């Protein structure tokens, strides 16, 4: 027996139910309702888009690890998670090369160049999406969502946020609202379809209900920190409520919350642990920042939606938030500790 007795430092036991892999699997489980809803609404297009992204991300990770002469980390399941999130954030109509290029950009520029899982500064899936969004503006733009396919009723309409953006833009320049736009606006303002997901949009973002179910699961499992979605939801509600009151947007705070990809971003994108702050307070501030930026981008940028850029911008300030939110140790230091 003595030859197998180990000498090691404490602690000698660990919580085996918790692992990086388990956290990644939790994200996939949490996204299952939204994925199912995407397949239900966009049929074959969703299956192909998401499947292509997952496979491309895994292939890209294998390729980049091989190039860096590192073992391929199949076990941590982080590549398929990035692929799933990227796939769900694309429009149904995006051609196959967008999915593939986006995946390679996500794994390469988003992750591998920084040194792999745990070292990246920006959310890989959002890096990939930003890459294809800027490279293929037309195929990723508002018009790409609208089309006519038999069996897909939702794609006949523009996305709710696009309608709201056009409506607000027309109003602000004093243009007369046409009857057609008025009708579209009324349809887009209907809360129930917006909540269950019978609207046009990126594949995974349409159903607030599915995202809430999966998001709450993720927070209860503590694989996502609740402080981030809480911060995002609170600040987005406040800012969009004020904007609505000031006449800057025809949508109420509730529309802004359940429309577009705000909930998708709040629960599944901004909560990426690697690219968000460490401390509970920092996480909450991060969420507040994302929420404010999302609404500001929706109101004032050239794009109808702002989740992607809001998350990327806040990723960039995460190190600053970390430095400013070092907790005061029990029995130690005054407020001067943690400055620097």
Partner 1 sequence: MTTRSSFPGGVHPAAHKALAAEAATEVLPTPDEIHVPLVQHLGAPCKPGVEPRAEVALGDELGNSDAFVSAPIHASISGTVGKLTAVTLPNGCRVRAIPVKASDEQPLSGQDLFDDIFGGPWPTGRFEQYEPKQIVDACRAGGLVGLGGAAFPTHVKLVRNEKRPIDTLLINGCECEPYLTADDRLMVEAPAPVVTGALLAQRATGAESVKICIEDNKPKALESLRRVAGAAGVEVLAVKTKYPQGGERQLVAAVLKREVPIGGLPLDVGAVVVNVGTAAALARAVLRGKPLTHRIVTVTGAGIRRPRNLLVPIGAAYRLLIDYCGGVTEDAARIVSGGPMMGFTLGNLDTPVTKGTSGVTVLTHDEVRKAKETACVRCGRCVDVCPVHLVPTKIALASKAGDLDLAQRYCIAGCIECGCCAYVCPASVPLVQLIRLGKVLLQKAASAKKN
Q: Does 15 bind partner 1 (CB under 8 A)?
A: yes
Q: Does 335 bind partner 1 (CB under 8 A)?
A: no
Selected from 33, 108, 277, 289, the binder of partner 1 by CB under 8 A is: 277
CB of 215 or CB of 304, closer to partner 1: 215
Q: Does 68 bind partner 1 (CB under 8 A)?
A: no
By C-alpha distance, which of 231, 222, 224, 223 is closest to 284?
A: 231
Selected from 3, 4, 176, 334, the binder of partner 1 by CB under 8 A is: 4
Q: Does 273 bind partner 1 (CB under 8 A)?
A: yes
| Strand segments (E) across 5-63 | none
Binding mask 233-252 for partner 1 (x = CB under 8 A): --------------------
Contact present, 38 and 50 (Cβ < 8 Å): yes
Q: Does 82 bind partner 1 (CB under 8 A)?
A: no
Q: Does 93 bind partner 1 (CB under 8 A)?
A: no
Q: How far apart (Å, rounded) are the C-alpha atoms in residues 160 and 158?
A: 6
Tokens of 115: 């040194």
Cα 58 to the chain's mean position, in Å? 19
Selected from 40, 96, 119, 300, the binder of partner 1 by CB under 8 A is: 119
CB of 4 or CB of 150, closer to partner 1: 4
Selected from 51, 73, 147, 193, the binder of partner 1 by CB under 8 A is: 73
How big is the site for partner 1, counted in residues (CB under 8 A)?
49
Contact present, 110 and 128 (Cβ < 8 Å): yes
Distances (CA, A) of 232 to 235, 284, 287: 5, 8, 4
CB of 81 or CB of 239, closer to partner 1: 81
Q: How far apart (Å, rounded) are the C-alpha atoms in residues 39 and 13?
A: 43
CB of 114 or CB of 309, closer to partner 1: 114
Q: Does 261 bind partner 1 (CB under 8 A)?
A: no
Distances (CA, A) of 29 to 34, 99, 293: 10, 22, 28
Q: How far apart (Å, rounded) are the C-alpha atoms in residues 106 and 116?
A: 11
Residues 6+ apart with CB under 8 A from 216: none
CB of 51 or CB of 73, closer to partner 1: 73
- CA 327, 325, 125, 291 torsion: positive or negative? positive
Cβ atoms < 10 Å from Cβ of 333: 10
Q: For the CA atoms of 297, 247, 142, 262, what is the dihedral angle to 10 degrees?
A: 50
Selected from 134, 173, 246, 330, the binder of partner 1 by CB under 8 A is: 330
DSSP 8-state symbol, 4? G
CB of 9 or CB of 148, closer to partner 1: 9
Q: How far apart (Å, rounded) are the C-alpha atoms in residues 123 and 108?
A: 12
Selected from 46, 50, 52, 117, the binder of partner 1 by CB under 8 A is: 117
Nearest-approach distance from CB 73 to partner 1, in angstroms: 7
Selected from 11, 151, 302, 334, the binder of partner 1 by CB under 8 A is: 11
Q: Which residues bind partner 1 (CB under 8 A)?
A: 1, 4-16, 18-23, 73, 75-76, 116-119, 222, 225, 273-274, 276-280, 283, 322, 326-333, 337-338, 340
């Amino acid at each position: 027996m003595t030859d197998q007795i180990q000498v090691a430092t404490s602690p000698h036991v660990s919580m085996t139910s918790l692992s990086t892999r388990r956290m990644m699997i939790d994200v996939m489980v949490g996204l299952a309702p939204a994925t199912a809803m995407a397949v239900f609404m966009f049929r074959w297009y969703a299956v192909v888009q998401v499947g292509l992204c997952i496979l491309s991300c895994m292939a890209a990770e294998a390729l980049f690890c091989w190039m860096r002469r590192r073992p391929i980390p199949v076990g941590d399941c982080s590549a398929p998670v990035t692929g799933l999130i990227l796939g769900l954030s694309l429009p149904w109509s995006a051609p196959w090369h967008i999915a593939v290029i986006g995946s390679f950009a996500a794994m390469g520029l988003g992750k591998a160049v920084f040194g792999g899982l745990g070292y990246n500064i920006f959310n890989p899936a959002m890096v990939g999406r930003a890459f294809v969004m800027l490279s293929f503006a037309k195929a990723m733009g508002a018009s790409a969502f609208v089309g006519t396919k038999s069996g897909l009723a939702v794609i006949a309409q523009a996305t709710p946020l696009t309608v709201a953006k056009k409506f607000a833009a027309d109003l602000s320049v004093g243009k007369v609202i046409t009857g057609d736009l008025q009708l579209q606006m009324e349809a887009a303002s209907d809360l129930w379809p917006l909540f269950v997901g019978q609207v046009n949009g990126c594949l995974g973002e349409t159903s607030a209900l599915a995202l809430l179910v999966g998001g709450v699961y993720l927070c209860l499992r503590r694989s996502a920190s609740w402080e981030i979605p809480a911060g995002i939801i609170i600040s987005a509600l406040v800012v969009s409520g004020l904007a609505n009151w000031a006449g800057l947007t025809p949508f109420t705070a509730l529309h802004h919350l359940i429309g577009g990809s705000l909930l998708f971003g709040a629960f599944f994108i901004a909560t990426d642990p690697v690219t968000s702050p460490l401390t509970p307070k920092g996480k909450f501030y991060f969420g507040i920042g994302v929420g404010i930026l999302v609404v500001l981008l929706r109101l004032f940028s050239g794009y109808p939606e702002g989740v992607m850029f809001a998350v990327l911008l806040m990723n960039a300030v995460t190190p600053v938030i970390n430095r400013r939110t070092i907790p005061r140790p029990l029995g130690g230091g005054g407020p001067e500790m943690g400055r620097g």
